[in-house]
Amino acid sequence: MAFSLSKVVPWGRSLAQYRGMFSLTDADLDRRILGCADGPASFNAEMMAMDKRVTSFDPLYQFSISEIRQRIDETADEIIRQTRLHSHTFCWSDEIPTPEALAENRLASMNRFLDDLDLGRSEGRYVVAELPSLPVEDGSYNLAVSSHLLFHYSEHLSEQFHLDSVRELTRVASEVRIFPLLELGGQLSRHLDAAIAMLASLGKSATVETVDYEFRRDADAAGSVIPLQPPSLTISDTSRTWKCPALGQRHVAPTLDVSLDSNCQRSRFACVSE
Ligand SMILES: C[S@@+](CC[C@H](N)C(=O)[O-])C[C@H]1O[C@@H](n2cnc3c(N)ncnc32)[C@H](O)[C@@H]1O
């Protein structure tokens, strides 16, 4: 099915937010980075301004600046309204204290992206492409990052799509980081175990790691909040099972190193090709 702009709810994040979501160090920023599903984030534009190179892949880039701007204008008010409605499910901070400040922050990132889009397209930094298949040679990148698509839309995107997409990302990059691991409803993705097991079957290692970035609390669409749990993660070295207090006992394939923060919303998934 053709990708439709009317299905996109544009909401782009900044370089600082990417650094938080993916624990990107200064050294990471000098790696050859692929951003998958970067959409209207200003990550690429801000990296370019620092003389660092990211190539972003997203079907959104087939549209013109005015088409994307129009879609942002059509959807922004509704997103802000929803954010106000569910404001108790967000972790507000000095940097972003209110839904209005959030909107301002996201719109600033998206404007920065739009200002960079034509130049970036001509330089090959914004590429029209769609998971589960990327037009990239094996191992072309040192690091692939992807936020707010895989695992987040688990209800809408099938397990097979997730397996194919995660496999594809590990084909094109030697390390892959994905955030968040929570579905829209706030629970750990139903596809995570299958993705980890698939990677293990390919001899690739995978970890679930805690990051500093935390903006949404565990929350479901109705706005209820699942209380944050005290740390009570258990890991058994022999059977390699782990237990998340919020989710109960879960199992992963042998030979994997798995750790999980008790506040699952702050975890990202990382996999390495070898
Ligand atoms: C919620 S946005 C996230 C944007 C950005 N990563 C961020 O966190 O600010 C999700 C993005 O996924 C893109 N997308 C949807 N389907 C995709 C696919 N099959 N492959 C790659 N990107 C896709 C959309 O166009 C949209 O830009």
How many CB atoms are closer than 10 A to CB 59? 18
* Half-sphere exposure (Cβ direction) of 230: Cα atoms closer than 13 Å: 0
pLDDT of residue 79: 86
- AA identity, residue 237: D
Cβ(210)–Cβ(274) below 8 Å: no
CA of 248 to the centre of ligand 1 (A): 30
From CA 91, how far away is CA 114, in angstroms rounded?
27
> What is the full per-residue pLDDT of the chain (274 aa) written as tens digits?
577 877 778 889 999 999 999 999 999 999 999 999 999 999 999 999 999 999 999 999 999 999 999 999 998 888 888 888 888 877 888 888 998 999 899 999 999 999 999 999 999 999 999 999 999 999 999 999 999 999 989 999 999 999 999 999 999 999 999 998 888 877 888 999 999 999 989 988 888 887 877 676 643 322 222 222 222 233 333 333 343 433 444 433 322 333 333 344 567 888 876 5
Protein residue closest via CA to atom 13 of ligand 1: 37
From CA 126, how far away is CA 55, in angstroms rounded?
6
Q: Which of 36, 53, 35, 45 is closest to 14 using CA atoms?
A: 45
pLDDT of residue 253: 31
CA of 216 to the centre of ligand 1 (A): 18
From CA 19, how far away is CA 31, in angstroms rounded?
13
- AA identity, residue 177: R
**Tokens (6 digits) for 185:** 């409803």
* Half-sphere exposure (Cβ direction) of 59: Cα atoms closer than 13 Å: 13
Number of independent structural domains in the chain? 1
Protein residue closest via CA to atom 25 of ligand 1: 60
Residue 34 CB less than 6 A away from ligand 1: no
From CA 12, how far away is CA 107, in angstroms rounded?
8
pLDDT of residue 256: 31
How many CB atoms are closer than 10 A to CB 152? 20
- AA identity, residue 98: T
**Token pair 């954010």 in the structure block, residue:** 83
Q: Residue 86 carries which DSSP code?
A: T
Q: 167: domain range?
A: 5-272
pLDDT of residue 270: 83
**Tokens (6 digits) for 125:** 């930094």
pLDDT of residue 91: 80
Sheet holding 267-272, edge to edge: 126-127, 54-57, 33-36, 143-147, 175-179, 267-272, 205-210
From CA 106, how far away is CA 121, in angstroms rounded?
21
How many CB atoms are closer than 10 A to CB 145? 28
pLDDT of residue 47: 98
Ligand 1: atom nearest CA of 12 is: 9
Query: 52: domain CATH number?
Result: 3.40.50.150
pLDDT of residue 82: 85
Residue 37 CB less than 6 A away from ligand 1: yes
Inter-CA distances, 123 with 172, 211, 237, Å: 20, 32, 48
pLDDT of residue 254: 29
Protein residue closest via CA to atom 5 of ligand 1: 38
- Per DSSP, the residues of 59-79 read GGGGS-HHHHHHHHHHHHHHH
**Token pair 């994997």 in the structure block, residue:** 256
Ligand 1 pocket test: pick from 58, 68, 96, 113 the residue with the most ligand atoms within 8 Å of its Cβ: 58
3-state helix, strand, coil in the chain (%, to 5): 35, 20, 45
What's this model's pTM, rounded to 2 decimal places?
Answer: 0.83
Question: Going along the chain, which residue ranges are E strands?
Answer: 33-36, 54-57, 126-127, 143-147, 175-179, 205-210, 234-235, 241-244, 248-251, 267-272
pLDDT of residue 244: 40
CA of 91 to the centre of ligand 1 (A): 23
Can you name the residues that pair with 33 across neighbouring β-strands?
54, 143
